[in-house]
Amino acid sequence: MTPPDDDVFEVSVFSRGYGEAIAIHVGHGRWLLIDSLKNSSGDPAAIAYLDNIGVDTRQAVEAVLITHWHDDHVAGASVVVARCEAAEIVLSGALQRDEFRAFLARSTTDNAGSFGSGVEELLTILRQLKAEGRRPKWAWADMTLAASRGDHPYRFEALSPSTKDFEELLENIHTWAQPSGRLRAPKRNDASVAAVVTVAEDLALFGADLEIRGLEAGWAAVHSKVWKDRAAASLYKIAHHGSVTGCYEPVWADMIVRDAIAVLTPWSRGSKLPSPADIDRILNYTPNAHAASKVRSPNTKRRSNTVERSLREANIKLLQESVDMGQVRFRKRAGEVWNVEYLSGGSCHLKEVLAA
């Protein structure tokens, strides 16, 4: 594989059916990274890709955004931070608040790992940055995360979380405690950072796991309070694996061009996403929708009743991942249309995403 030319806007999306990472070329050898997942060798997928095409990640990556702390968005993120020495490291502003930092600390000390590795990965990043004398940037709605002016401008902006998102997060934390006193891993995504990248006249929207949360939070707040007079995006990384919880119709109507390029990362665990209904809904918005990998339905061997009972009592879940690293790559020059490449791991058009 070869790196993009200086005048090419690139968005590469990686997935294994569990996990998400994005690499963005904003022109002239400058890169942005969003989230992280590991490939089958245990290396961060975006870093492995940049190494493969000859990019010096120590200097070329200008910003790394970790959208939120769920496991499927942060695997290997501390390695990404270490490799990208010159990058601005951006975390959700929710992590800056004392209330949430105290909660994160409790989740790792009181729950013996059952709360998920994403929390520990973020705490590792914070300790790592402190040791290196680097300070993170805290992302809030309507904040510029990185930018370049002059002859080759780009802008990387956060669209969330809003103040109301954070308030709802704090209000919801008490529901995560179980009768035993242990903490149950939350499924809400109030603190997730949706973002937009503008290169010249082209916009790409990155939905992370942001969901619908009333009129002053989530996608409604982005649409009514933050997007403002921006042009419509021609590429959309669909929010929350294509789930209906992340689908806000005004976003498609007002923030994204008609028949835009769209891409999602599937969720192959539990209630798999996207569902057939999700696929139909998305394809009604745009026929140009893609997936970075397929939804896997692995045949797992049945464990004995004794083993199953022991796992339940210890609050342990054994989950099987797809081993294929998927990558779909989009490239365009100003004034041209996006070129789509399915590079590996079952990346495909969205109508083909459900695999047996």
pLDDT in tens, 149-164: 778 899 999 999 998 8
234: amino acid identity, one letter: S
* pLDDT of amino acid 175: 64
186 pLDDT exceeds 70? no
Report yes or no on 28 lying in a domain: yes
109 pLDDT exceeds 70? no
* pLDDT of amino acid 141: 96
Average pLDDT over residues 158-177: 80
Which CATH number does the domain housing residue 19 bear?
3.60.15.10
Q: Residue 181 burial by CB count (10 A; 0-12/13-18/19+): exposed, middle or buried? A: exposed
More confident position, 320 or 333: 333
Shortest CA distance to 30 belongs to which of 140, 139, 152, 134?
152
Report yes or no on 186 lying in a domain: yes
More confident position, 111 or 192: 192
Specify the number of domains making up the chain.
Answer: 1
Percent of the chain, pLDDT > 70?
81
Full residue range of the structural domain in which residue 227 is found: 8-315+324-352
* pLDDT of amino acid 77: 95
100 pLDDT exceeds 90? no
Average pLDDT over residues 179-193: 64
* pLDDT of amino acid 112: 42
Report yes or no on 3 lying in a domain: no
Mean pLDDT of the chain: 86
Shortest CA distance to 255 belongs to which of 211, 205, 304, 217?
205
* pLDDT of amino acid 241: 96
Average pLDDT over residues 344-351: 90
344 pLDDT exceeds 90? no
The CA-based dihedral angle spanning residues 294, 299, 304, 306, taken in that order and rounded to the nearest 10 degrees = 10
Report yes or no on 333 lying in a domain: yes
**Other residues' Cβ atoms within 10 Å of the Cβ of residue 342:** 17
pLDDT digit string (tens) for 307-332? Answer: 556 555 554 544 444 447 899 999 99
**Among 2-11, 241-250, 275-284, 315-324, which is the least confidently predicted range?**
315-324
255 pLDDT exceeds 50? yes
Edge-to-edge strands, sheet with 8-15 = 137-139, 88-92, 61-66, 30-34, 21-27, 8-15, 326-333, 339-344
By residue count, the chain amounts to 356
Report yes or no on 331 lying in a domain: yes
* pLDDT of amino acid 239: 97
